[in-house]
């Protein structure tokens, strides 16, 4: 569904992405992991067209995304820090998003609105919201249009355990519908039972992209965090 072909990106002297080739298929739930500052977010932003790669190409459903914008109607994106126009209320923001994505009008999924109980605070202005509530709003928008691809950047950061659980359930549900889910997260344990594939990025380089079962057998660890730690230790030794 998403194919990254040899993409590179420099910010000044810093090499953010270094010839990355990745293929993501529908029905998978892919965890994008790596140490802090490993440019996971840059990669996600490249897919969204927020960052323009210096070279290489990204294909979405076999079409290049450069100079294209309509493909984004098939993506639900939850940013790491969701900040919104201060003076708008949640209700107005939802209305605006529906207005902007009019093409998805007949396919609205408002489940999170009720499960996060956001429907009771539609009149609250964005600047009065806590970080956690903003995250809930971000999550709501990601799922609102029933998009084929979900890109979630640190989805559970800042959420209380109850909300995190609700979100996890929601992700599983959507995955089962055959959607492609891309998640970056550093809290690995939460992902254990969702994830089907792991992409590991370090210093802008793709270290590996493997099925979780393959990874488990290779390392002999059942827990995802242990398996990753194992791999990380190996790469360190190799260096």
Quick one: 45 or 175, whose CB is closer to another protein? 45
Cα separation of 178 and 78, whole Å?
19
From the list 168, 197, 172, the residue with the least C-alpha distance to 32 is 197
Residue 117 CA to residue 217 CA, distance in Å, equals 41
Binding to another protein by residue 143, rule CB under 8 A?
Answer: no
Q: Pick the binder of another protein from 71, 116, 143, 200 (CB under 8 A).
A: 71
Per CB under 8 A, the list member of 17, 24, 29, 84 interacting with another protein is 84
Cα distances from 93 to residues 44, 82, 141, in angstroms, run 24, 13, 10
Given a contact cutoff of 8 angstroms between Cβ atoms, the answer to whether 136 and 93 are in contact is no
Residue 29 C-beta: closest distance to another protein, Å: 20
Contact pattern for another protein over residues 18 through 47, marking x by CB under 8 A: ---------------------------x--
**Burial state string for 76-95 with b = 16 or more CB within 10 A and e = fewer than 16:** bbbbbebebeeeebbebbbe
Q: How far is the CB of 8 from another protein (least distance, A)?
A: 13
Q: Does 100 bind another protein (CB under 8 A)?
A: yes
52 lines the binding site for another protein (CB under 8 A)? yes
Q: Which of 13, 62, 69, 238 binds another protein (CB under 8 A)?
A: 69
Count of residues near another protein by CB under 8 A: 33
CA gap 77, 74 in Å, rounded: 10
* CA 189/CA 191 separation, integer angstroms: 5
User: Binder to another protein among 101, 136, 175, 179 (CB under 8 A)?
Assistant: 101
Of the pair 68, 189, the CB lying nearest another protein is at 68
* Span near another protein by CB under 8 A; candidates 85-93, 168-176, 210-218, 230-238: 85-93
Smallest gap, in angstroms, from Cβ of residue 103 to another protein? 7
Q: Contact between 83 and another protein (CB under 8 A)?
A: yes
Contacts of 154 (CB under 8 A, 6+ apart): 80, 184, 185, 186
14 contributes a contact to another protein by CB under 8 A:
no
The whole-angstrom distance between residue 58's C-alpha and the CA centroid of its chain comes to 16
Among 32, 39, 43, 82, indicate the residue that binds another protein (CB under 8 A).
82
Asked if 87 touches another protein (CB under 8 A), the answer is yes
230 to each of 36, 173, 233, how far by Cα in Å?
18, 30, 5
The residues that touch another protein, with contacts defined as CB under 8 A, are: 9, 11, 45, 48-52, 69-73, 75, 77, 79, 81-88, 92, 96-97, 99-103, 141
């Amino acid at each position: 569904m998403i194919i990254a072909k040899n993409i590179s990106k420099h910010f000044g002297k810093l090499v953010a992405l270094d010839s990355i080739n990745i293929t993501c298929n529908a029905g998978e739930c892919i965890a994008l992991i790596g140490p802090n500052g490993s440019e996971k977010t840059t990669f996600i932003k490249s897919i969204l067209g927020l960052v323009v790669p210096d070279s290489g190409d990204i294909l979405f459903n076999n079409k290049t995304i450069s100079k294209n914008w309509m493909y984004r109607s098939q993506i639900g994106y939850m940013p790491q820090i969701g900040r919104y126009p201060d003076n708008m209320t949640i209700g107005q923001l939802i209305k605006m998003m529906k207005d902007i994505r009019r093409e998805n009008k007949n396919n609205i999924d408002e489940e999170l609105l009720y499960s996060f109980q956001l429907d009771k605070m539609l009149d609250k202005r964005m600047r009065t919201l806590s970080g956690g509530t903003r995250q809930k709003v971000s999550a709501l928008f990601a799922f609102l249009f029933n998009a084929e691809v979900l890109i979630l950047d640190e989805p559970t950061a800042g959420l209380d355990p109850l909300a995190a659980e609700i979100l996890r359930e929601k992700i599983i549900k959507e995955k089962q519908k055959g959607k492609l889910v891309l998640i970056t997260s550093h809290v690995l344990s939460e992902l254990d039972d969702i994830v089907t594939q792991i992409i590991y990025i370090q210093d802008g380089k793709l270290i590996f992209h493997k099925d979780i079962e393959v990874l488990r057998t290779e390392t002999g660890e059942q827990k995802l965090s242990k398996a990753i730690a194992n791999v990380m230790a190996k790469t360190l030794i190799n260096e």
